[in-house]
Amino acid sequence: MGLLNTLLGRSKPVQANLDSLFGLPSATITLQSAAGIASSGRAGVCYKPPTGQSFADMQTEVMKLLDMDGGGTLRAQQDSYGYHWVVVENPDVEALVSQVHLVNSSLSDAGWGPQLLCSVFGLAPVPGDTGAAALPSGVDGATLLGPTAVVPSTSYLVYLFKRGTFYPFIPDGKEHRDNAAELKLKSLVADDLAIEPELDRWFPLWDLPVG
């Protein structure tokens, strides 16, 4: 099919892959024990809104559905690149992931899978950070990584729909990212999540509305 598509100048829109999303709760448990980092309770779904009323209708439907689901706050936002965000806030990671999945699967079931760009999950240090010292494996990790192991308060895990993979994103000042911290974060979650193997696909997302 590849050759035929080349000859005829076609490209098929890529569907979203939602399967690997559910590795996230176990990854946050690992992060909490190994580095004292937990979910910040905020996540966002980013998609490119296509033209037309049918998409707008579906968007309203999804927001209503999420509202009924309850247990968190919702916010719709537009970024400077013309992409739409649905920002979900929920202190419970499992609930957060399932709400994000609800947004994703509704869009994708309505046939708009190709429009999904990524989901972003915020990470933050656990307040007080006592969990790491209490666990035997945590001590190991903490001494190994040293004082710089504490990931900055603004760090994210980005889920790429088209690849079904995660990558870390840690902005550090204006339009600069802390690659060292990102690679550290990656090594921490590598066992729990499917990590994007190609580094040039770890694209930056400045001015995230996920905060």
Partner 1 sequence: MSTARNIPSDHGLTVRMFTTGLMIVVLYGAVIGILIAVGISYVLVLALAAALLFAQYWFSDKIALFGMGGRLVTPEQEPQLHGVIDRLCALADMKKPRVAIADTDVPNAFATGRSPNTAVVCATRGLMRRLDEPELEAVLAHELSHVAHRDVAVMTIASFLGIIAGLVTRVMLWTGMMGGFGGDNRGGGNNNNNGADQTALIEMAVLVVSVVVYAISFLLTRALSRYRELAADRSGALLTGQPSVLASALVKVTGDLSRIPTRDLRSTEGFNAFFFTPAIAGKGVSLSTIFSTHPSLDQRLAQLARIEAELGRPA
- R_g over Cα of the chain: 18
Kindly state whether residue 156 participates in binding partner 1, applying the rule CB under 8 A. Answer: no
> Exposure of 106 by Cβ count < 10 A (0-12 exposed, 13-18 middle, 19+ buried)?
middle
Q: How far is the CB of 55 from partner 1 (least distance, A)?
A: 8
In which residue are the tokens 């929920």 written? Answer: 90
Rank residues 78 and 130 by Cβ distance to partner 1 and give the closer one: 78
Kindly state whether residue 44 participates in binding partner 1, applying the rule CB under 8 A. Answer: no
**Both tokens of residue 168?**
């870390």
For partner 1, the binding residue among 1, 8, 134, 144 (CB under 8 A) is 8
Kindly state whether residue 203 participates in binding partner 1, applying the rule CB under 8 A. Answer: yes
Segment lying near partner 1 (by CB under 8 A), choices 26-34, 60-68, 141-149, 159-167: 159-167
For partner 1, the binding residue among 85, 90, 151, 163 (CB under 8 A) is 163
d(CA 71, CA 135): 30
Kindly state whether residue 80 participates in binding partner 1, applying the rule CB under 8 A. Answer: yes
| Distance linking the first and last C-alpha atoms of the chain | 42
d(CA 26, CA 193): 9
CB atoms within 10 A of CB 144: 9
Provide the β-strand partners of residue 37.
125
For partner 1, the binding residue among 68, 128, 134, 200 (CB under 8 A) is 200
Provide the β-strand partners of residue 119.
45, 159
d(CA 156, CA 121): 5
Rank residues 134 and 200 by Cβ distance to partner 1 and give the closer one: 200
Q: How far is the CB of 171 from partner 1 (least distance, A)?
A: 12
| Helix pair 24-35, 179-189: axis angle to 10 deg | 110
For partner 1, the binding residue among 23, 49, 71, 131 (CB under 8 A) is 49
Rank residues 112 and 149 by Cβ distance to partner 1 and give the closer one: 112
Binding residues for partner 1, rule: CB under 8 A, are 5-11, 13-16, 18, 48-55, 57-58, 80-83, 105, 108-115, 117-118, 160, 162-163, 175, 198, 200-201, 203-204, 206
